[in-house]
A and B are shown apart, each in its own frame.
Chain A
Amino acid sequence: MWFRRAFSVLACLGILVPMVVIAGTGVTAREAVDRVAIITPASRSNQGWDQQGVDTLVAVGEERGIEVEVVENAGYDDITPILRDLADDGVDLIICHAAGYQTVCPEFAASDGVPVVVTENPGAVAEGLVADVETQAQEVAYLAGVMAALETNTGTVAVVVSGEPPTWNYMTAGFAQGVADTDPGVEFLYSVIGEAAYDDAPNARRTTETVIAAGADIVFGMGDGATFGMIQAIREHNADAGDGEQVRFIDVIGDKSDSDAADLLLTSVLFDYTGAFSQFIDDLDAGTFGSVYTMNLENEGVRLLDPPIEVSEETMARVDEAAQGILDGEIEVPAISDAGELSDFLDALTEGAA
């Protein structure tokens, strides 16, 4: 009798143990990531958001021997057909590189089971399916604001943006706070080119000409492709001004210090997605995918470009001091993503300065 019972127990164990082991290996031994795709709304040559994302992923892919598939100029319409094509092609991970894809990509991941990375949507994070990258660049924009307030000769600085997405809003608020904390007497101008005018270079140029005419000699521009319209407005102004008041530009995301814009570049708020993309691929390999990665001053996901043109030692010392203050927690930089809240914030800053 005991023999039959023992045999039954052993038989059950013989069936159950391999099942548990197989099930277990199914979770942890996912095949290594070998194909990653990135979708960008605009051209990968815009030396801005889109190019920085693609270039970084390509570099990460080369370093790790991962094949990278790039889908550019996808626009802001429904990208589900593109996602489906990529899934059919067998990519392991899709990076949806625009705040405008916040909804469609998590929905696709839920329905088709392909892991995706979204931008500025931590609420969508789901284990094994959706990870989020947060570009909290307001801290570095604050430092740019400190530099602008110290370097302006006219006492007026301006922000020109090609839209009001969260990424731009974070930086506008940080920059404005940096200016106000450094010198409340500096006039701050804010101008929006259009609702999603990321490639509207002609309008960017007109808007920049307007803020220059209003007295700004430092322009903090966030535009992607439209940025070149801002740069051309400044180049033409500086050429016409001769020895007169020169306008300088603060750029975002990509490094233009080797471009035609180098001679007017004061600094830049640089984004580096290397840490974020590497982390997501590692997570996917390890079966722990589904986190929020915040690019910030501390992990150098965002940093300030060393000024390509001459800036006083005193200014650089004040910027370094402010950076240390942020890292030590002595300076708190507001994180404002909503356009309405940003408007109220800027109004309050202006009233405070007055």
Chain B
Amino acid sequence: MKGARAGEVAPQASTLCRALDGLEWAAHVGPYQALGCKVGIRVTDPALGGYLDRTLGSLAADLAESESEHLYSVVDPGPGRGRPVHLYFDGHQVAALASPALALATLLWHLNRSAVASLPGHLLLHAAALEHGGEAILLPGASGSGKTTLAAGLIMDGMGYLSDEVAAVEPSTFTLAPFPKPLTVKEGSWGALAGLAPLADDVPSPYRERQWHLDPRRLRPGSIAGPCRPRLIVFPSYRAGAVTKVNPLGRAEAVALLATQVFTLPDAGQRGLELLADLVRTCDAFTLVVGDLEGACAALRSL
């Protein structure tokens, strides 16, 4: 398996792999393509397998199972049988989780992390990305800025979905690679997206947590967009009760803001900064104060 270095971690990992291979698996799901990471998942709990199969469908890759390069293993001893739930990645233990819900959240978090690690040559931004008219709109922002809520609203409005979390930009063409992961809607946004609650209703009870994971295709069939170049960079900030307002942003300030939302920069120093500057030069930049979802979607459509 990838990641194991001969003579170092490999012997221990391979022993563990053999032990894991000997377990009785209720389901194998995938393979999924998370940016450059081709991954399968096996679980001991059939309820989790069914849920993952429904939820991660937007990442399903047109690959044979044997083409998976990585493998998650989720081992749940079951209630009354000495939980924690154990999560492994390529035979290495990621974590022992106190509950199935925490195990699910950790698995999806680690999948995002693996996606980010899979494209070291790309510019990877902490941003939602939508497609409109064949061009991309980047919505960079820290957790809580409203990226996912906006992405959900814009998908339902007819825009294409690229990601709610990671914008992967190829550095020579600035083309965005889609990462159409399930939208992770936190509890704070459930009110604004109340109409989507039925879509989040099929979580097996031990896996219910304070966030929804929504397949974008259930928000709007055919919503997943293909690769495209960005035209707009809009920095959202959710403020409860505020008046929704969009303001133009100078490009220098846009570069400085964008630099705070970088997961991976292919080059450090001067070359890295120039890459961010070149990306911003190809786009118009704005800030967006989000007071209400409908107004924010309308403001974005008008740009």
Tell whether A and B belong to one assembly.
Answer: no
**Residues of A bordering B, CB below 8 Å:** none
**Residues of B bordering A, CB below 8 Å:** none
